[in-house]
Structure formats: structure tokens, C-alpha cells
């Protein structure tokens, strides 16, 4: 029976790679195996599990992706990038620094990677190339900054990991904050050193251009594009860390704040509202269908004895806790080349989480942050990193795949450094 569970896992993985819809593949193939190999009485345990997922209070924060969709509709990221570029314009590499900071702001307000990379690629990449930036530096900066939403709270990845690992999402947010900010600091340090060593590849803006930008309503531009979104971020994260609101309640605060921000900019109307609601419903439905399919898969996998079979294999191999951790991280890293983080979280993590907790007694909050950092690194890594594909899809024709691969390598090294620090010094990374 344990071998059947492994065959179930492999068959689902191959069908997803072949292009079949994830949610229906997870649920459909699992039900097919259950009908063929389980007793009919086993099915009575599945509906309560599904209802438990649908009534999970933490997952109410998923529909509040509304924040991100609304920010895109009012083009807050474009205004923030333009304004911050002018603030750092006199520095060599100032535009790249602005991209990282705006990427961190977007990560702290929304936590969605694909849309962030695409949006920043459309907005900033042509501008950076036009101003004489090296293509490698420009593409590497955008791809790395766009994936900060994987680790900086309130990350959708962390919300889903908290649900699957059955740990507090607030604790995950608190643990992930320092590694996320450390990534931002190291990205900025690399750009600053690169621009200092090779200023011709990261030119500053002209005095005339900056002066022209500051001539009219400069203070208003700064407040609208930078301070108001910052207040929104502080409201969301501050309410969580101060213990005033749960992550779900804080997400509701963020959605309300984004609506108020839209109204203050006179961008709120029925057309925008309908579009935002439609896209939010689409994203939420996709996540929940995958979650229901993953719940069915997890149930059937365990009923077939898959978890026991894996534990027996580990005991037979005499793997240490650290050895098993490295093995899981490698599997997740490679899987990140081929399937999205949602599928990884709902297919692989439910299998290994009980082993981490019961077999090795590891802290699952720490494991969750390591997994999020690992997925983020996988998203950036050639040849199959999702962020590289997203960026290549919107890049000008003169930007080649080789530019993307060469440009991202320094940022991958930074990612690995932070991942190692979190792995070996968890107490330093979590001062809370």
C-alpha cells in the first residue's frame, strides 16, 4: 500500500508537468486511487476534512489579495518607482536601489510574486536600459526584488505554509521579517558596491531631470507615492506584531486601507471596483480549488500508508535530522523549477511536515521560513526559475536569456547566504 501511495504521488506530479489542471489532477487522481484501493468506509472521513479547510479562519486572508489587485489598478507601484528614482537619482545605481525598495514595499503590502515581477519589468526595465544600465544588473535587480513577496510578510506563501504546517501565521510572519529585511539590505549593498566599482553600468540621473521633477508638487508626489503606501504597510504589519489583530483581520485592514488610498487619489469608481472584485474572485477560487484537491490527495496518501512508508525508508537509511532537512530542501528546490509554490506547499509539505515534527522534533515555524526562502531561491535560479520566465516574457527583444542568467547569479548567492544564516543561526534571525 505504501508503494501505491508513492505511485500516486509520482503520477500526479507527472500529469501536472504534462499540463493538466493542478486542482482537478490532485483531487481526481486521488479519488480514483481511493475507489480502487481503499475500503468504502474510508470515504466518510473526507467530507469533514474538506469542511475543515473551507471553514479555516486563517484562509480568509486569501481573498484579501484585493489589496494587490487594487494597487495595480491605481498604478501605485509606477508612481512609487518614479518618485523614489528621483529621490535616489543622484546616486550611481539609484534607479536599481529604487527598484529594490519598491519591490520590498510591494512585498510588504501584497506578497504576490508573479504579478510583481511582470509589473516591475514592464515599468522599470525599459527605463533602466534606456538610461544606460547594464542589462545583467537591471534584470537581476528586478527579478530579485520581485520575489521578495515570497518571504516578506504578509506573504501569501507564509499564509498557506502556516495553514498546511498547522502553525501560527503570525509567528511565521515574525520569524520571516528579519531574513526578509536582511535580503533587502544585502541586495542594496551589492548594488551600491557594483555601482561604485563600475559606475558606467549604473549611471546617475541628470541634475536637470531631477530639478524638473521637483519643480511642481514635489512634496505631494512623495506623500502620494511613498508615505501613504507606507502607512498602509505599517497598519497591516504593525497590527499583527502588536497583537492587535490576527493576520486575517490585518488583511481586512489592508483591504480597507487600499480602498481609502484609491479614494484619496480619486481613482475609485464602479468600473475599477468590478474589475478588482472579478480578479480577486478568480485568484481566490484558483487557490481554494487547489487546496481542496490537495486535501483529498493528502487524505488518500495517508490512508494508503504513504507517510508510514516514507518514515520506514528514512529509518532504514539512518538519516539524521539535518540530513533529512537537506534532502527535503533539495526536492523542494528542484520541484520549484517545474511547478508553482502553491502545488509544492499542498503536495510535498503535508507529506514531510509530520516527519519533521514527530520523527525529529523540529520547530515547524523555522521549517516554514526555510521552505519559503528555498522556494524564493528556486524561483530565481536558472535554467527554469519562474521569475526569470516572467521577466523574459515582458523584456525588450535586446534582453537575452543569457543576460537574465548572468544577472541573477549574485542575487542567488545572497539568497544562499541568508538561507544558511537562517538554517544555522535561527535564534539570531528571530529576535522576537
How far apart CA 217 and CA 410 sit, in angstroms, is 38
Mean pLDDT within 10-34:
81
How far apart CA 310 and CA 353 sit, in angstroms, is 12
Dihedral (CA of 268, 269, 272, 273) sign: positive
Phi-psi region of 305 (alpha: psi -120 to 50; beta: other; left: phi over 0): left
Per-residue pLDDT of 389-417, as tens digits, reads 778 877 888 888 888 889 999 999 999 99
Nearest one of 267, 371, 297 to 329, comparing CA atoms: 371
How far apart CA 365 and CA 92 sit, in angstroms, is 39
Residue 383: cis peptide before it, omega within 30 degrees of 0: yes
Could you give the number of structural domains in the chain?
1
- Return mean pLDDT, the chain: 79
Q: Give the CA distances from residue 129 to residues 49, 123, 304, in Å, rounded to whole numbers and listed in that order.
A: 52, 11, 55
Query: Helix, strand or coil for residue 397?
Result: coil
Q: Which of 167-181, 196-210, 220-234, 339-353 has the lowest mean pLDDT?
A: 220-234
- pTM of the complete model: 0.77
Per-residue pLDDT of 69-85, as tens digits, reads 666 555 566 666 667 76
Contacts of 145 (CB under 8 A, 6+ apart): 99, 100, 102, 103, 104, 116, 120, 187
Q: Which helix (H) or strand (E) element contains residue 388?
A: helix 386-394
Contacts of 316 (CB under 8 A, 6+ apart): none
Dihedral (CA of 365, 366, 367, 372) sign: positive
Q: Which of 13-17, 195-199, 210-214, 380-384 has the lowest mean pLDDT?
A: 210-214
Per-residue pLDDT of 93-147, as tens digits, reads 888 888 888 888 777 665 566 666 777 777 778 878 888 888 899 899 988 988 8
Residue 416: give the domain boundaries.
2-429
Q: Is 52 exposed, middle or buried (0-12, 13-18, 19+ CB in 10 A)?
A: exposed
C-alpha cell at 404: 537574465
Contacts of 79 (CB under 8 A, 6+ apart): 221, 224, 225
pLDDT of residue 184: 93
Task: Could you list the beta-strand ranges (E) of 126-267.
Answer: none
Q: Give the CA distances from residue 271 to residues 66, 89, 119, 237, in Å, rounded to whole numbers and listed in that order.
A: 15, 36, 21, 30
Calculate what percentage of the chain has a pLDDT beyond 90.
10
How far apart CA 358 and CA 11 sit, in angstroms, is 27
Nearest one of 359, 297, 296, 301 to 327, comparing CA atoms: 359
How far apart CA 324 and CA 351 sit, in angstroms, is 13
How far apart CA 109 and CA 97 sit, in angstroms, is 19
Query: Helix, strand or coil for residue 112?
Result: coil
DSSP character at residue 148:
G
Whether residue 127 contacts residue 142, with contact meaning beta carbons closer than 8 Å, is answered with no
Residue 154: cis peptide before it, omega within 30 degrees of 0: yes
pLDDT of residue 24: 82
Between 194 and 299, the more confident residue is: 194
pLDDT of residue 369: 92
Axis-axis angle for helices 228-241, 247-264 (nearest 10): 170
Whether residue 238 contacts residue 153, with contact meaning beta carbons closer than 8 Å, is answered with no
Amino acid at each position: 500500500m505504501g508503494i501505491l501511495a508513492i505511485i500516486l504521488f509520482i503520477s500526479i506530479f507527472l500529469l501536472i508537468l504534462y499540463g493538466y489542471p493542478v486542482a482537478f489532477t490532485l483531487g481526481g487522481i486521488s479519488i480514483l486511487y481511493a475507489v480502487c484501493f481503499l475500503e468504502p468506509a474510508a470515504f466518510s472521513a473526507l467530507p469533514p476534512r474538506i469542511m475543515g479547510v473551507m471553514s479555516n479562519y486563517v484562509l480568509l486572508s486569501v481573498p484579501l489579495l484585493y489589496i494587490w489587485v487594487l494597487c495595480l489598478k491605481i498604478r501605485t507601484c509606477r508612481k512609487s518607482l518614479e518618485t523614489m528614482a528621483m529621490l535616489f537619482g543622484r546616486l550611481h545605481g539609484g534607479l536599481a536601489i529604487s527598484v529594490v525598495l519598491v519591490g520590498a514595499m510591494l512585498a510588504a503590502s501584497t506578497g504576490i510574486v508573479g504579478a510583481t515581477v511582470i509589473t516591475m519589468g514592464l515599468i522599470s526595465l525599459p527605463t533602466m536600459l534606456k538610461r544606460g544600465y547594464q542589462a545583467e544588473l537591471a534584470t537581476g535587480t528586478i527579478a530579485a526584488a520581485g520575489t521578495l513577496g515570497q518571504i516578506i510578510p504578509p506573504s501569501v506563501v507564509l499564509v498557506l505554509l502556516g495553514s498546511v504546517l498547522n502553525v501560527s501565521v503570525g509567528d511565521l510572519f515574525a520569524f520571516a521579517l528579519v531574513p526578509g529585511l536582511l535580503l533587502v539590505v544585502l541586495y542594496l549593498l551589492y548594488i551600491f558596491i557594483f555601482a561604485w566599482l563600475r559606475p558606467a553600468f549604473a549611471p546617475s540621473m541628470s541634475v536637470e531631470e531631477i530639478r524638473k521633477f521637483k519643480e511642481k508638487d514635489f512634496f505631494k508626489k512623495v506623500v502620494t507615492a511613498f508615505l501613504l503606501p507606507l502607512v498602509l504597510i505599517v497598519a497591516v504589519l504593525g497590527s499583527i506584531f502588536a497583537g492587535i489583530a490576527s493576520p486575517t483581520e490585518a488583511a481586512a485592514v489592508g483591504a480597507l486601507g487600499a480602498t481609502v488610498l484609491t479614494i484619496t487619489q480619486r481613482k475609485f469608481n464602479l468600473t475599477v471596483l468590478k474589475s478588482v472584485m472579478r480578479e480577486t474572485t478568480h485568484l481566490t477560487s484558483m487557490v481554494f480549488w487547489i487546496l481542496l484537491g490537495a486535501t483529498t490527495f493528502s487524505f488518500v496518501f495517508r490512508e494508503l500508508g504513504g507517510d508510514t512508508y516514507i518514515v520506514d525508508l528514512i529509518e532504514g537509511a539512518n538519516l539524521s535530522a539535518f540530513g533529512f532537512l537537506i534532502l527535503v530542501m533539495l526536492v523542494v528546490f528542484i520541484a520549484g523549477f517545474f511547478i508553482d509554490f502553491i502545488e509544492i506547499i499542498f503536495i510535498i509539505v503535508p507529506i514531510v511536515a509530520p516527519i519533521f515534527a514527530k520523527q525529529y522534533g523540529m520547530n515547524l515555524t523555522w521549517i516554514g521560513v526555510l521552505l519559503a526562502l528555498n522556494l524564493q531561491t528556486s524561483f530565481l535560479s536558472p535554467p527554469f526559475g519562474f521569475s526569470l520566465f516572467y521577466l523574459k516574457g515582458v523584456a525588450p527583444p535586446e534582453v537575452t536569456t543569457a543576460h537574465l542568467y548572468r544577472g541573477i547569479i549574485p542575487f542567488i548567492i545572497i539568497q544562499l547566504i541568508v538561507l544558511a544564516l537562517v538554517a544555522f543561526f535561527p535564534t539570531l534571525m528571530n529576535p522576537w
